[in-house]
Amino acid sequence: MLIAWRHHGTWMAGFVIAALAAAAPPMAQQPCLTASKFGPTDQVGALNNVTPAKTLAATKLVTRGKAYGLGIETNKDTPAFPPRTFSVTILQPGQAAGTSLGPTKTTYNDDIITGWVGIGSQLDGLGHIGVDNLYYNCNKAADFAMADGLKKLGIENVPRLPRAACSSTWRATSTPIS
């Protein structure tokens, strides 16, 4: 067969190659590895599974009243990916040399925080981390990550979460803020 091509010229070889390429099955497009099983507009992932019925069922699983801390202290020693840093400066504004404020002689300490909010405990939306600029549910960084904020997959999409176990501990150990 190859000999016949040589006799008819090189144009025949090009024709046969083109015909074979057209007859071959098309290469399947790779599925997006971050696609959501909840559909193309999903922005909360597995939180779609948190329903009122499942929350109520979960309360029946509690057998002890043990509380768990879900946060960590944030300070200069908190581990962080470079170049992130965190520092706190404590000042007593308007109270130089031990003076106080007003007729009540009020004194107070105030905090100046310098740092990255991505240090320590945080709750992020699904736009926080991706792989090779591809984020949850096939979203490309260039399409939603802007300097003034995320246009998709931000924390504002996270629904209210059950916290009954946490709130009773909070009330018992914390002073309300008014």
Give tens-digit pLDDT for 32-51: 999 999 999 999 999 999 99
Quick: pLDDT tens for 96-137.
Answer: 878 899 999 999 999 999 988 777 766 678 998 899 999 999
Tally the residues of the chain: 178
Which pTM does this prediction carry?
A: 0.58
Joined together, the tokens standing for residue 166 give 């946490």
